[in-house]
Amino acid sequence: MTDRLHLSVALAGAGWHPAAWREPTARPGELTSARYWRDLVRAADDAGITFVTIEDALSFGDRGSDDAEPRTDRVRGRLDAVLLASYLAPLTRRIGLVPTVTTTHPEPFHLATGLQTLDHASGGRAGARIVAGSSAAERANFGRRSDGPDGFPASGRVEDDAAWTAAFREAGEVVEAIRRLTDSWEDDAIIRDLATGRFLDRERVHNIEFEGEFFSITGASIVPRSPQGQPLITALAHQTIPYRFAAEHADLVFITPSDAAETTGILSEIGTAIDEVRSESEPLRVFVDLVVLIEDTADAARAAWARLEARDALSTDARVVVGTADDVVDELRAFAEAGVDGIRLRPARLPADLDAIVDGVVPRATAAGVLHEDNGASTLRERLGLPLRASRYARQEVSA
């Protein structure tokens, strides 16, 4: 059983509830301003939250939605998550920065260099939330391919749709390419030898020679080895194939049990997947996602939720907690007892529910001994108790 949890926060526009932008505490006129995101992430950083994720998509509307008739009563438009994280890196101190990355359309080489740059800019606090697949609207925005999933199959199971299973295979290749590219420079490849005039030891920069089902890459990254070696790879998983994808390719997986009791079955399925497909010796961290709306009293929270739902109902697989900070801490405690490594809170309203997390949930959970103490590690991987990854190419040379 896990005694303590890591706490993370998922940031999305005006909040996870689609009507959050209409709340009096919202800042809808600032959603594309640098100040808005700086204020949110600095507040989380000052509270000691381990990392934030930043939502993104490659179409006008919500991920997976049909944009033929885009809704005008919801937030539309967003900033690029990787670029935003790089802007936030020098403005923050300890918090990990984990932008959402879609694997279907961007080139793996570009994804790798962007994440490596973020790791350098943050001093080793970079991660990525990997998203597989694409909608018809996303494919139309790029215009380079017409194949791909068109919504979920009637069964709701990814394995019943060949397009979805292919999307997850492609996402796995992208992650492998990112890892190889970040490994392509050894830690000491830059020597800066003034006497000989050699800046670089070329023998320590390796072409990755990757040949996959969906693409091939011959050369090395253009970005030198970054502080973590490799960024933290995360994924959200709801069912078998995504669980297996996370077990094989990720460092951390977000899950969405309906309650603490359901967590046991999910952890068992993930454990089976780990036994079958995971080649890494390091553990896969498991975080539970919770949508939270927090007020000083339960009655006030229920009234606020009812107001939001009357305007536009939320559709989510994640458990929703509407109540006080103490209610959220009770949920954290229950999931800690269920054996997970952390919780990712999705604030229903921003900045209101992030403020409640910072001012109410974190102090109470800390006092209750539910949260990990900051271990002082300089990188996100080490803060989560994961080792820094050595370059696979350096290991090959040593073993030879």
Q: Give the C-alpha distances (Å, rounded to integers) separating 388 from 124, 125, 377.
A: 10, 12, 11
* Residue 118 in tokens: 């973020």
Question: Distance of CA 89 to CAs 23, 69, 94, 223, 378, Å?
Answer: 29, 36, 9, 17, 13
Please indicate if the annotation marks 165 as binding a ligand. Answer: no
DSSP string, 173-211: HHHHHHHHHHHSB-TT-EEEETTTTEEE-GGGB----EE
- By the 8 A CB rule, do 324 and 297 touch? yes
Beta strands in 219-316, from DSSP E residues, in sequence order = 232-236, 252-255, 285-294
How far apart (Å, rounded) are the C-alpha atoms in residues 366 and 372? 8
- Has 46 been labeled as part of a binding site? no
Q: Which helix H or strand E contains 13, and what residues bound it?
A: none
Any alpha helices (H) in 123-161, and if so which ranges?
Answer: 136-142
What are the structure tokens assigned to 113, written together?
A: 């260099």
Mapping DSSP to helix (H, G, I), strand (E, B) and coil, where does residue 139 land?
helix
**Which residues, including other chains, have CB under 8 Å from residue 36's CB and lie 6 or more apart?**
27, 30
- The burial class, CB within 10 Å (0-12 / 13-18 / 19+), for 139 is buried
Provide the terminal-to-terminal Cα distance of the chain, rounded to the nearest Å: 40
54, 43 Cβ separation under 8 angstroms:
no
Helix (H, G, I), strand (E, B) or coil at 216: strand
Residue 100: strand pairing partners: 129
Query: Residue with structure tokens 């080895």?
Result: 225
Q: Are 131 and 101 in contact (CB under 8 A)?
A: yes
Cβ-based neighbour number of residue 169 at 10 Å = 16
Separation of alpha carbons 174 and 231, rounded Å: 13
Binding residues, by number, are: 56, 100
Residues contributing to the annotated binding site for FMN: 56, 100
